[in-house]
Amino acid sequence: MTSPAQLEAMRLWRKRNPEKQYRSKLANYRQTQGAPNTGSLWTEREDRSITSPERPCDRELSKLLGRSMKAIQNRRSVLKKSEEQDAARMGKS
């Protein structure tokens, strides 16, 4: 698990080195392009694996699930928004 001090150090590094972060991000995406599950529907098991607190990094998930890192990040965002909308609906009832 990453400590708060380590997270802050990483944030500062990204802020000071945006070009290196950008190149690193591009390299990660290139490695996971053309994943075999492109276009297939997400399963419940995949949803659980990308939202689990003990999940591996997105690069590892990409290898395990056969999906691109961007697809994993997008799906996680969709699931989070769906949870927030459900919570808001429950609060209004």
Digit-coded pLDDT (tens) for 1-37: 678 899 899 889 888 988 887 887 777 667 666 677 7
- Interatomic CA distance for residues 42 and 6, integer angstroms: 33
Residue 77 has what DSSP assignment?
H
| Amino acid identity, position 36 | P
User: H helices within the chain, ranges in order?
Assistant: 4-16, 18-32, 44-51, 58-65, 69-92
pTM: 0.61
Domain boundaries, the chain: 4-92
DSSP per-residue string spanning 34-47: T-TTTTPPPPHHHH
Digit-coded pLDDT (tens) for 57-69: 988 998 899 888 8
